[in-house]
């Protein structure tokens, strides 16, 4: 099932990536070859097989409800692209 340009653009938008015009064709071709690879999986009948999402089929280990963290804002914001008054700044959010 080859990918259309529209589908590629939709994926790119979902993933917040911009694909320059001159890269659209090559990207589409490469993704198509990956899709051919992964389509091989369809050859196996997996009816009734329980999906396995994790190598350890164990139960989650839980934390006790205790506050263990202290304020590290200064250290965290030292590596931030743009902050002011303790806030991370981003282009205006429109709801």
Alpha-carbon gap, residue 93 to 79, rounded angstroms: 22
Does residue 6 bind another protein (CB under 8 A)? no
* Structural contact between residues 54 and 26, judged by C-beta atoms closer than 8 angstroms: no
| 3-class DSSP assignment, residue 84 | strand
Residue 25 Cβ vs another protein, minimum distance, rounded to whole Å: 13
* Structural contact between residues 8 and 28, judged by C-beta atoms closer than 8 angstroms: yes
Residues 76-95 interacting with another protein (rule: CB under 8 A): 76-82, 84-95
Query: From the list 6, 21, 22, 71, which residue makes contact with another protein (rule: CB under 8 A)?
Result: 71
Q: Which residues bind another protein (CB under 8 A)?
A: 8, 11-19, 27, 30-31, 33-44, 46, 49-56, 58-69, 71-73, 75-82, 84-95
């Amino acid at each position: 099932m080859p990918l259309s340009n529209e589908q590629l653009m939709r994926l790119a938008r979902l993933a917040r990536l911009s694909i320059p015009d001159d890269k659209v064709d090559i990207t589409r071709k490469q993704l198509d070859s990956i899709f051919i690879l992964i389509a091989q999986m369809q050859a196996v009948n997996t009816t009734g097989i329980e999906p396995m999402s994790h190598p350890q089929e164990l139960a989650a280990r839980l934390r006790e409800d205790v506050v263990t963290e202290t304020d590290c804002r200064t250290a965290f914001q030292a590596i931030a692209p743009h902050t002011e008054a303790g806030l991370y700044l981003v282009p205006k959010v429109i709801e």
